[in-house]
């Protein structure tokens, strides 16, 4: 069993970084790296949640067990916690690492500036504030946006677009908070992914209703096409992995891609092309269109995304079915 021996200066290992003590964070880090046991030569601190590996406290100055790997419990993100400025710097450095490696362009360039600051504030609150709570808040914001859009009129459309963008930012916060505080759950995964589809499809229907006339049917058509693709995607992923991780889905031309980071490789032109259909991008574009007074763009763009995905789906389940995993 790989043992890690932790040391700390004073009580620095008890300092809070992103909602967790430095010690708990370091223990969880080494556990993910394969450690099977932690020995801590520092004053005992309360560890409020069950940890993935056994932890033993020994007196300060105790020698490490034979063969143990020595680590500092008061070094976070490569920064030694030697004062409050260092603690704040380590916390922000850590939070900046909580983005997905395969995030979309708007998330990478704009949304993180808001989401990570919100995540930092939430992380300092009690552990009772969970990522699922953030997801539910995002859903309520998205449903409010749809309700506003359904009423029509420039002011309501504009506010609806802004609220949908807020929903998109909060949609990043729940994942960032889950990674930062190690609060993963299968329920959270399903709730996060399904809520995006529900909110976006309702929003398309609402914008169509707000425009009236034939736009109602076009909004329904866009939502229906997206729903068909989403259901097929979830069924495929669940049969193969038993989860609701939509990033595990592979089109027939991606069967050689092992991870989502491979699929969304920023060096690939395909990645930049498909970013036009990624949620962070189209929600931002929809907001701009609605604020600028062009709600018809939302329906047209939604139809275009749905049409491309339905065409890919038809090829995926017919012509190229044998090549898909």
The reported pLDDT for the residue numbered 226 is: 95
With vertex at residue 30, the alpha carbon angle to CA 102 and CA 21, rounded to the nearest 5 degrees, is 90
Among 231, 170, 222, smallest CA distance to 201 is for 222
Over residues 186-221, the pLDDT tens digits come to 888 888 889 999 999 999 999 999 999 999 999 999
Lowest mean pLDDT among 111-115, 158-162, 181-185, 286-290: 181-185
The reported pLDDT for the residue numbered 223 is: 97
CA 149 to chain CA centroid, Å, is 26
Cβ atoms of residues 112 and 170 within 8 Å: no
Question: Other CB atoms closer than 10 Å to residue 272's CB: what's the count?
Answer: 12
Question: Other CB atoms closer than 10 Å to residue 134's CB: what's the count?
Answer: 24
Tokens, residue 101: 């490696």
How far is Cα 174 from Cα 75, in angstroms, rounded to an integer?
26
pLDDT, average across residues 263-267: 75
Please check the confidence at residue 119 and state whether its pLDDT lies above 90.
yes
CA 143 to chain CA centroid, Å, is 19
pLDDT, average across residues 21-38: 95
CA distances from 100 to 48, 96, 136 (A): 27, 10, 21
Over residues 32-84, the pLDDT tens digits come to 999 999 999 999 988 878 899 999 999 999 999 999 999 999 999 999 999 99
The reported pLDDT for the residue numbered 325 is: 46
The reported pLDDT for the residue numbered 65 is: 93
Stated pTM of the model: 0.90
Domain 105-323: give its CATH code. 1.20.120.1760
Please check the confidence at residue 157 and state whether its pLDDT lies above 80.
yes
Residue-range domain boundaries for the chain: 3-95, 105-323
> 100: which residues sit within 8 A by CB, 6+ positions away?
107, 175, 260
Over residues 285-308, the pLDDT tens digits come to 999 999 999 999 999 999 999 999
Please check the confidence at residue 322 and state whether its pLDDT lies above 60.
no
Among 54, 167, 49, 188, smallest CA distance to 114 is for 167
Residue 134 dihedral angles phi and psi, to the nearest 5°: -65, -40
Q: Which residue has the tokens 């259901």?
A: 231
């Amino acid at each position: 069993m790989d043992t890690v021996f932790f040391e700390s200066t004073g009580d620095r290992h008890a300092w809070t970084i992103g909602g967790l003590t430095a010690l708990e964070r370091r223990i969880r880090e080494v556990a993910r790296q394969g450690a099977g046991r932690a020995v801590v030569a520092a004053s005992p601190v309360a560890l409020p949640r069950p940890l993935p590996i056994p932890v033993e406290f020994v007196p300060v100055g105790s020698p490490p067990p034979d063969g143990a790997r020595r680590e500092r419990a008061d070094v976070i993100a490569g920064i030694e916690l030697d004062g409050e400025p260092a603690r704040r710097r380590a916390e922000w450095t850590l939070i900046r690492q909580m983005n997905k490696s395969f995030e979309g362009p708007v998330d990478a360039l704009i949304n993180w500036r808001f989401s990570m600051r919100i995540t930092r504030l939430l992380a300092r609150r009690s552990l009772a504030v969970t990522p699922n709570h953030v997801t539910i808040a995002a859903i309520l914001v998205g449903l409010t946006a749809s309700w506003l859009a359904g009423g029509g009129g420039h002011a309501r459309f504009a506010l609806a677009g802004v609220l949908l963008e807020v929903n998109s930012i909060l949609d990043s916060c729940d994942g960032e908070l889950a990674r930062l505080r190690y609060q993963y759950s299968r329920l959270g995964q399903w709730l996060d992914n399904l809520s995006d589809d529900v909110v976006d499809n309702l929003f398309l229907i609402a914008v169509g209703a707000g425009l009236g006339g034939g736009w109602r049917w076009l909004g329904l058509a866009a939502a229906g096409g997206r729903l068909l693709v989403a259901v097929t995607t979830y069924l495929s992923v669940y049969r193969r992995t038993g989860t609701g991780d939509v990033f595990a889905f592979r089109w027939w031309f991606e069967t050689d891609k092992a991870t989502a980071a491979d699929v969304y490789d920023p060096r690939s032109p395909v990645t930049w092309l498909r970013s036009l259909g990624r949620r962070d991008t189209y929600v931002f574009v929809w907001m701009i269109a609605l604020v600028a007074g062009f709600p018809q763009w939302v329906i047209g763009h939604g139809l275009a995304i749905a049409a491309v995905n339905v065409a890919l789906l038809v090829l995926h389940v017919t012509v190229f079915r044998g090549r898909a995993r």
